[in-house]
Amino acid sequence: MDLNTKLSPHFTLKELIRSDKAAQLGIDNTPPEEVINPLIIVCCRILEPVRNHFQKPFSPNSGYRCSELNQALRGSKTSQHMFGQAVDFEIPGVSNYEVAKWISANLTYDQLILENYESGKPNSGWVHCSLISGQNRMQLLTINGSNRREGLIA
């Protein structure tokens, strides 16, 4: 599998599977073949439109996670990251709230979460966004620690 394979014009497979935690723990985070198409969909329908709108390059914090890595990160047992359907990211110099607000108004998604965002600190937290090939829930959440709220809360 060529890690330099472009999944979309601006995002490579290497970026979508890169993990400092996996490297630290010696976990092979290479995805199975069936995960590649969902990763392409996430890149083309979420990451590319976001990059084009904000006109700033960025690299995802987390894309695909094998089950071993997901467990090491204490991710949800049903995490969409394990199926190549989710991505976490930030755009340098752009408020994560503004990114989430734009996505919620302009893109189709299964789940959009503004995570660990602190009002008045635009660079705090990150955006989690997932997309499936079937019926997307358009679920919008703000999560800070154990505090989970419906909607986008600044």
Please state the length of the chain.
154
Segment 75-84 mean pLDDT: 96
Domain ranges within the chain, ordered by starting residue: 10-150
Q: Pick the residue with more confidence: 146 or 58?
A: 58
pLDDT value at residue 66? 98
pLDDT value at residue 1? 77
Work out the pLDDT band at 147, boundaries 50, 70, 90. Answer: very high
What does CATH list as the number for 10-150?
3.30.1380.10
Full-model pTM = 0.95
pLDDT value at residue 154? 86
| Sign of CA pseudo-dihedral 40, 93, 52, 45 | positive
Residue among 133, 116, 107 nearest 35 (CA): 133
Per-residue pLDDT tens over the stretch 101-128: 999 999 999 999 999 999 889 889 999 9
Distance (Å, whole) CA 50 – CA 30: 25
Distance (Å, whole) CA 16 – CA 151: 27
> Residue 122 to residues 48, 114, 127: CA-CA distances in angstroms?
22, 12, 12
